[in-house]
Amino acid sequence: MIQSLFLLSLLLCPLEYNLSNPIKGLDKLYLDWKKVTIQALEKRANNTTDSLKRNTFLNRINAVNVVTQKEESMKIDTLAIRYLLLKDHFTNIISSKGDVFIIEIKTMTSAISFTDLIIHRNDNHIAIVDAFRFNGKKWIAIQHFSCDEYFLQENLSTYYLENEKGINFNETIITKFSKGKLKMSEYFITKSLSSKCGLQNIFDKVDQYYYK
């Protein structure tokens, strides 16, 4: 019954990733997301004058490219953390009539940890925020709340700072979906996300352990 409802929801939504085969739709969105991320990293690498930052961007590009090329020609890694997140939330993302943002946060401490936020925003700027943490096998929900903050109103690239005075303490990727379509993605190296993004209060509502 659940599988039938899942298929029906996809067929009723005339969206870019609404394919008769939901697995193909999921696979396409996953690969498109990676390509957009690579483009964002390439733009950062080309625009920065800091050699250390450029090397960081290039290393990230190489890592993503190797996996992406293999997946396009052979088989998609269905255990990749991005794929697992999309698999859990694919229907909600592509059927949304408003904006959906996925914020990926990679924390580098004694061990690497991953925290993702999925934020749905309606026309009244009321946002529903769901926070997840990857436990090594799957994504675990850690928080759920609503807020009426005005955030991410401009093109995502306008929030990038070169002066290292940003609000993010960890590498952050922000991706925007609008009405079921993948619109843009931006990569923010540590302390490069401007406070003008409007996300500070949302970050503060999520346990600080996951950000500092």
C-beta separation of 40 from 33 below 8 A: no
Q: How many domains does the chain have?
A: 1
73 vs 158 pLDDT, higher one? 158
> Which range in 19-33, 110-124, 172-186 is most confidently predicted, on average pLDDT?
172-186
Strand ordering across the sheet containing 139-147: 139-147, 127-134, 112-121, 99-108, 171-178, 181-188
C-beta separation of 182 from 32 below 8 A: yes
What is the per-residue pLDDT across 160-179, written as a single tens digit (0 to 9) for each? 998 889 999 899 999 999 88
What is the per-residue pLDDT across 78-106, written as a single tens digit (0 to 9) for each? 889 999 999 999 888 888 888 899 999 98
Q: Is residue 9 part of a domain?
A: no
Q: Is residue 112 part of a domain?
A: yes
Q: How far, CA to CA in Å, does 30 sit from each of 10, 83, 94?
A: 16, 6, 12
Q: Is residue 134 part of a domain?
A: yes
195 contact partners, CB below 8 Å, separation of at least 6: 166, 167
What is the per-residue pLDDT across 27-47, written as a single tens digit (0 to 9) for each? 889 989 988 999 999 999 998
List the domain range (segments joined by +) for residue 84: 22-210
Q: Is residue 1 part of a domain?
A: no
C-beta separation of 95 from 15 below 8 A: yes
Provide the mean pLDDT of the chain: 83
Amino acid symbol at 207: D
Q: Is residue 14 part of a domain?
A: no
Q: Report pLDDT for 141.
A: 95
Q: Give 111's pLDDT tier (boundaries 50, 70, 90).
A: confident
pLDDT of 183 over the 50 cut = yes
Q: Is residue 113 part of a domain?
A: yes
Q: Is residue 4 part of a domain?
A: no
Amino acid symbol at 149: E
Q: Is residue 31 part of a domain?
A: yes
Q: Which residues pair with 113 in a beta bridge?
A: 107
